Amino acid sequence: MALTAETITDTALDILSRYGLGDLSMRRLARELEVQPSALYWHVKDKQSLLVLISKSLKVEVDAACPVTADPLAAAMSLREVLLKYRDGAEIVLLGYSIAAADVTPQALSSERLGAEISQGILTLTLGAVAVEQNRRLFDIDPAGAAENFAANAAAMLAVIRSPS
Amino acid sequence: MALTAETITDTALDILSRYGLGDLSMRRLARELEVQPSALYWHVKDKQSLLVLISKSLKVEVDAACPVTADPLAAAMSLREVLLKYRDGAEIVLLGYSIAAADVTPQALSSERLGAEISQGILTLTLGAVAVEQNRRLFDIDPAGAAENFAANAAAMLAVIRSPS
DNA sequence: ACCTGAACACCGTTCAAGT
DNA sequence: ACCTGAACACCGTTCAAGT
């Protein structure tokens, strides 16, 4: 496998879904790719920028499942599903969204569609809720009713759209 | 200063508000307290449990400013303020809330007062929004209108209380 | 252009041993 | 009971040197 930013990201995604963020080190990544750790730094600025690349990749995955015109609540649920696929997805995308919001926000939840305020609201709610949910799974705490709970709260926040103040 | 779980927590809080989570290592903490790193482990199980202690301490701080009967939106704003005081407060409390929700939730936002669903909704929204805001401050990205934005979204979610479905 | 090898400055945690 | 000292198994990142 030719070493590129893409192959590095893909391998990272693989480690992430299998073992989680705790096992995603630059050294571990290098071992998996059978290169020296330092080799990674020719293709990727640092670990943080790799996490942003990962965040962008998850956005693309959500977009593939959600057209621009998708119902915002359905889009938020899709985002949640994708975040859950990658063990610590929410924590990573929280970082990615902080640094490069526009590149990480799913098209169906963009500020162009929902307005900056609600777009940010639904993103931060989703990232916060799923981050907590993923932490709980990690510690074997039962995240009882997580999906329904999240759906209800997201719906409440989105209700403003159909009845603006 | 006698080494106890409390003095360790207080020193951690001090490092946190001055330098942030990146500088809060067990080794750094030990240096500040003028003991060997291993000494900390007699008083505290591990770093994670220290972060939970910190989270509980922030809850107490919010409770001191917000009576049980405080307006939920005002309480959420107070929580935000306290989280902002400690550079990476949101990230830490996100962890603490995941592990020990009841011990970390401010009394004015408890599930007893608001119901489990809304309590969790407002907590995860606050933690997500402030975590993003703190990351942005860290990277010198202007968190434009963060307070008003957050207030509007929190209000939308809390609006369900006065008009339940 | 792309990668290796070695180094630097760190981590969290454990545990025998001291007092 | 409480702490030291040393060790273990890691980190992210840089940089000269190789091809």
Q: So what's the pLDDT on residue B81? A: 98
pLDDT of A81 strictly over 80 = yes
- B29 C-beta neighbours (distance < 10 Å), count: 22
Closest residue by Cα to residue A98 from A76, A78, A83, A120 = A120
Mean pLDDT of chain A: 96
Residues of B in contact with A116 (CB under 8 A): 149
Q: Out of B118, B131, B141, name the one closest to residue A128 (CB).
A: B131
C-alpha closest to that of A21 among A97, A89, A100: A89
Q: What is the pLDDT of residues B84-96, one digit of tens each?
A: 999 999 999 999 9
Q: What pLDDT digit, counting tens, does each position of A93-108 carry?
A: 999 999 999 999 999 9
High-pLDDT (> 90) share of chain B, %:
94
CA atoms B149, B62, B57, B33: torsion sign: positive
Looking at the complex, does the CB of residue A114 fall below 8 Å from at least one CB of chain B? no
Nearest CA in chain A to B117: A149
Say what the pLDDT of residue A161 is.
Answer: 86
- Note the CA–C1' distance, B51 to D2, in angstroms: 23
What integer pLDDT is reported at residue A152 of this predicted model? 98
Superfamily classification of domain A5-162? Tetracycline Repressor, domain 2 (1.10.357.10)
The overall longest dimension of chain A from CA atoms, in Å, is: 57
CB distance B87 to B58 below 8 Å: no
Task: Express each pLDDT in A26-56 by its tens digit.
Answer: 999 999 999 999 999 999 999 999 999 999 9
At residue A123 the predicted structure's pLDDT band, cuts being 50, 70 and 90, is very high
Contacts of B94 (CB under 8 A, 6+ apart): A128, A131, A132, A135, B127, B128, B131
pLDDT attached to residue A29: 98
pLDDT tens-digit series, residues B74-126? 999 999 999 999 999 999 999 999 999 999 999 999 999 999 999 999 999 99
Which residues lie closer than 8 Å to A122 by C-beta, 6 or more apart?
A: A72, A76, A109, A114, A154, A157, A158
User: From the C1' of C15, which residue's alpha carbon is nearest?
Assistant: B38
Structure confidence at residue B164 (pLDDT)? 54
Split at pLDDT 50, 70, 90, the class of B17 is: very high
DSSP per residue over chain A, as a string? ----HHHHHHHHHHHHHHH-GGG--HHHHHHHHTS-HHHHHHHSS-HHHHHHHHHHHHHHHHHHHS-TTS-HHHHHHHHHHHHHHTTTHHHHHHHHHHH-HHHHS-GGG-HHHH-HHHHHHHHHHHHHHHHHHHHHHHTT---TTHHHHHHHHHHHHHHHHHS--
- Given an 8 Å threshold on Cβ–Cβ distance, is A120 in contact with B94? no
**Is pTM, for the whole model, over 0.95?**
yes
Element housing B61 (H / E): helix B47-65
Q: Are A87 and A134 in contact (CB under 8 A)?
A: yes
Q: Are A103 and B104 in contact (CB under 8 A)?
A: no
Average pLDDT over chain B, rounded to an integer: 96
Summarize pLDDT for A130-143 with one digit per residue, the tens: 999 999 999 999 98
Residue A147, chain B, CB below 8 Å: the answer is no
Interatomic distance A164 CA / D3 C1' (Å) = 62
Cβ(A75)–Cβ(A106) below 8 Å: yes
A121 and B131 within 8 Å at the Cβ level: the answer is: no
Across the interface, of A99, A116, A159, the residue whose CB is closest to B139 is: A99
| Sequence ranges of the domains in chain A | 5-162
Looking at CA atoms only, how far is residue B140 from chain A in angstroms?
10
